[in-house]
Amino acid sequence: MTMKTEQSVDGNVGDRAAFLTDGRTSRRAMLQGLGALGVGLVLSRTGLLQAETPAAARLWSLAPMEAETERIQDILDILATNEAFGVTLVGTVLDYARKGAYSPAIPDGILKILTGVRSQEQYHLDWLKSAGAKLRTDTFHIPDLEMLSKPKVLFRDLVELEDSAIGAVIASLHTFTREKRIDLLKANFQFATEESEHRFLANRALGFRPPNDHSFAAAQFGSTAEFYKGLQNRGIIDGSAGLEVTYPGPGAVDGTGVSYRTPGGPMASCSGSAGKGM
């Protein structure tokens, strides 16, 4: 998906503290240079599959865990449920924005981007369902109601939520690699790169220049189950505070302008004999 905006939620461009990154590898270059099973190998060697305790993980009040063995079905269900939450949350945000609930108002260009973000989350969910995923719930809570009235709170929280969603996918790659599920590994790694783009856009909306303070999110969770527990701890799932919302949220999902809707590109096995691709 290609989207461009020069707007931030307070109208400032480039007057915030900039966070520089040493990571300069684009997702396309990384994916083109790796076979699907090689993704898991390279991530483990670069530290992205190791349990760490970054700031976002501390905000979730979770202790880091070693990588756990999980059932593929459980992983798919958890990832799909989080995508459903994303569709619902952004749909609610768009609805409140159109009703004039935000002060200051979110610029139209950013609302257009959020519309595309919502549709991408839906396309992720559609693919996960086609792979056998089932939602654990379709009812969620938005515990912090300031997300629906203050743009800075909204985009700050979106950065954190995207970081955590990326961390959940990274945790899933252990199992996909071990089970040699190249299809699941490849697709979900691509989904994680799109979540990274969403994080980038949220940081840009906040006014950060450059908006990427790291090239790819560090590992936060030892398992997707740990990530799911974090959603429960925050009251997003099985909660009671704030606003209750039901998937897919207000309004229709609008994919106009979104060109990348399903995982694509070449797929290769790094474990087979020479000359045998997949």
Give the model confidence (pLDDT) of 128-170 as tens digits: 999 999 999 999 999 999 999 999 999 999 999 999 999 999 9
> CA 154 to CA 3: how far, in whole Å?
20
Task: Specify the pTM.
Answer: 0.75
pLDDT tops 80 at residue 239: yes
- Our measurement of the distance from residue 15's CA atom to the centroid of its chain's CA atoms, rounded to an integer in Å, reads 27
- Our measurement of the distance from residue 67's CA atom to the centroid of its chain's CA atoms, rounded to an integer in Å, reads 20
Sign of CA dihedral 180, 182, 186, 187: negative
Domains parsed from the chain with CATH numbers = 56-246 (1.20.1260)
Please write the tens of the pLDDT for every residue from 24-52. 333 343 334 334 444 444 343 333 343 33
